[in-house]
């Protein structure tokens, strides 16, 4: 009897084994397992809620940042204090084909950016035409080919040739 009392005091349970009371022992074991399962589910639900709260906080922060950017853009659009300048560059009637505009410092940085002016506006080569008029002599000779290179965003340049073979036919070669 003393051993039973000591066992009950040590475990806090009236029934500690199936020998004490099989029905109550297995009912207790089943209820303890169910309580453990429900506790695990509650923990999982709590973790899921915390994840959703973190996602909501992130989305709210992103929304606030976008609204701030939108407000800044609206202010910039309404601000008339910025300076704007237009420049005209005249390369002359007969450009050498090496004319460049060099930009550096400021927002560009210390490494200069060169812009080829004659390539950007086009250099027409050949004879017997001007400004894409393949029959400039008006004698139906249709002499000449317009050759130029096209490069997008610094990619490898692609050669293009336009040739007039008669009054109705232009050939494009890439």
Q: 118 is written with which tokens?
A: 């004659």
The pLDDT score that the predictor gives to residue 82 is 60
Q: Has residue 74 been placed in a domain?
A: yes
The pLDDT score that the predictor gives to residue 161 is 76
Q: Has residue 25 been placed in a domain?
A: yes
| Mean pLDDT, 10 residues at a time, the chain of 174 residues | 74 77 89 94 94 94 94 81 66 73 74 69 42 56 66 72 69 71
Q: Where are the alpha helices (DSSP H) in 14-157?
A: 22-78, 117-121
Q: Has residue 92 been placed in a domain?
A: no
- Structural domain total, the chain: 2
Residue 173 near residue 161, CB atoms below 8 Å? yes
Q: Has residue 61 been placed in a domain?
A: yes
DSSP-assigned beta bridge partners for residue 61 = none
Residue found by looking up tokens 């400004």 in the block? 131
Q: Has residue 1 been placed in a domain?
A: no
Q: Has residue 35 been placed in a domain?
A: yes
Residue 164: which residues within 8 A CB-CB, separation 6 or more?
A: 134, 135, 142, 144, 170, 171
Residues of the domain holding 72: 15-78
Residue found by looking up tokens 């890439």 in the block? 174
Q: Has residue 52 been placed in a domain?
A: yes
* Rounded-to-integer distance, Cα 163 and Cα 142, Å: 9
Q: For 142, list phi and psi in degrees, rounded to 5.
A: 45, 50
3-state secondary structure of 112: coil
The pLDDT score that the predictor gives to residue 46 is 94
Residue found by looking up tokens 């950007």 in the block? 120
Query: Length of the chain, please?
Result: 174
Residue 160 near residue 148, CB atoms below 8 Å? yes
Q: Has residue 114 been placed in a domain?
A: no
The pLDDT score that the predictor gives to residue 11 is 75
Residue 11 near residue 21, CB atoms below 8 Å? no
């Amino acid at each position: 009897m003393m051993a039973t009392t000591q066992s009950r005091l040590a475990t806090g349970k009236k029934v500690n084994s199936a020998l004490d009371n099989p029905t109550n022992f297995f009912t207790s074991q089943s209820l303890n397992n169910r309580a453990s399962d429900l506790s695990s589910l509650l923990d999982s639900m709590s973790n899921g809620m915390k994840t959703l709260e973190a996602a909501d906080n992130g989305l709210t922060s992103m929304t606030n940042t976008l609204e701030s950017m939108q407000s800044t853009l609206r202010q910039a659009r309404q601000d008339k204090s910025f300076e704007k300048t237009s420049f005209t560059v005249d390369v002359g009637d007969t450009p050498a084909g090496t004319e460049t505009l060099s930009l550096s410092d400021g927002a560009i940085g210390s490494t200069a950016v060169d812009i080829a002016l004659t390539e950007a506006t086009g250099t027409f080569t050949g004879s017997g035409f001007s400004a894409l008029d393949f029959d400039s002599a008006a004698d139906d000779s249709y002499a000449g080919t317009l050759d130029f290179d096209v490069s997008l965003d610094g990619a490898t340049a692609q050669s293009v040739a336009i040739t007039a073979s008669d009054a109705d036919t232009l050939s494009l070669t890439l």
